[in-house]
Structure 1
Amino acid sequence: MKIKFKKKRLYANLVLGIIWVIIAPLSLLRDEGLNWSDYIYFGIGVFYLAHYVYDLKHQYLEIEDGVIKKNSLYGFRKKINLKDIDRVEKFAGDYTLKSNDTKLKINTSFIESQSLTSLVKILSELNLPTEKTPFIK
């Protein structure tokens, strides 16, 4: 099961990528010739477009085989087994899942509403004591 990004976040990366890729050749129209900044503009555009494609394919979270995994283009994928979660904390709308050796923060402002409902359902079904979960049973 994938917990999806809001479309607004995905499209923001796409638009920024397109803008930067357009800026790169426009900067060549100046009479000054080729500068190092032209390469930077193009690189930033490619980075945003790669970020868009990666996020579109992998989305924010994946929940499979009892493991919740947070995807990140930068290689800092964090994962935690659902059975190992000792505590679920909620602060400012975000959830923090804690086990003995792992801490996973979930930013709910990135998640579309249907996926957020599914995530809350999964987290509320964890067998945790009342004082270790924000969900009322």
Structure 2
Amino acid sequence: MKIKFKKKRLYINLILGLVWLALGILNLTEDDKIRWTDYGYLVAGILYIGHYLYDLTNQYLTIENGTIRKNGLYGFGKQINLNEINWIKKFAGDYTLKTHQRELKINTELIDKDSLTELNKILTELNLPPEKTPFANNV
């Protein structure tokens, strides 16, 4: 199961990528003298579009085979087993899933509303003690 990004976040990366690409192409075609910074605009545009495509394909979180993985471009993804989670903290809308050795922070403002409902359902089903979960009152 994939927990999806809000569409707004995805579209912002796409628009920024297109703007940087257009700026780079404009600089390359306008000036007679090409500077190295003109290529920087193109690189920034390509990176933003690559980030958009990665996020569109992999989305924010992947929950499968008893693990929850935060997908991150450039190798910054984290993964923990659901059965090892012993504490869920909720602060300022963010969830922090804790095990004995690891911690995974989830920014709920980045998550699509329907996917957030699914994530809450999954986290509620972990059957943690009431003092170690913000979902104890929802059951």
Q: Where on the TM-score scale, by shorter chain, does this alignment land: which range?
A: over 0.9
Unaligned runs of 5+ in 2: none
Aligned to 1:92: 92
Letter in structure 2 aligned against 1:87: W
Cα distance in 1 for residues equivalent to 2:117 and 2:123: 10
Instruction: Determine the C-alpha separation between the residues in 2 that align with 1:6 and 1:95.
Output: 17
The equivalent of 2:22 in structure 1 is 22
Amino acid corresponding to residue 58 of structure 2 in structure 1:
H
Report the AA paired with residue 112 of structure 1.
D
Shift of 1:32: 5.2
1:48 alignment partner in structure 2: 48
Summarize deviations over 1:80-125 as a string: whole Å, max 9, x none: 1000001000000010000011100000000000000000010011
In structure 2, distance between residues paired with 1:53 and 1:31: 31
Which structure 1 residue ranges, 5 or more long, are not aligned?
none
Hey, what's the Cα distance between the residues in 1 that align with 2:108 and 2:2?
A: 14
- What CA distance in whole angstroms lies between the structure 2 residues aligned with 1:93 and 1:38? 40
1:59 offset after TM fit, Å?
0.2
Correspondence 1:6 to 2:6:
yes
* Alignment TM-score, normalising by the size of structure 1: 0.97
Deviation track 1:34-66 (CA, whole Å, cap 9, x = no partner) reads 101111100000000000000000000000011
d(CA) in 2 for partners of 1:25, 1:82? 47
Q: How many residues align?
A: 137
Trace 1:27-42 onto structure 2 (pairs within 5 A): 27-31=27-31, 33-42=33-42
* Structure-2 separation of matches of 1:4 and 1:35: 40
| TM-score computed with the length of structure 2 as normaliser | 0.96
| Deviation, structure 1 residue 26 | 0.9
What displacement does 1:19 show?
0.4
Match of 1:108 in 2: 108
Higher normalized helix content (fraction of residues): 2
Partner Cα distance (1:29, 1:49) in 2: 21
Counterpart-to-counterpart distance in 1, 2:66 and 2:59: 18
Moved over 6 A (4+): none
Tell me the CA shift for residue 31 of structure 1: 3.6
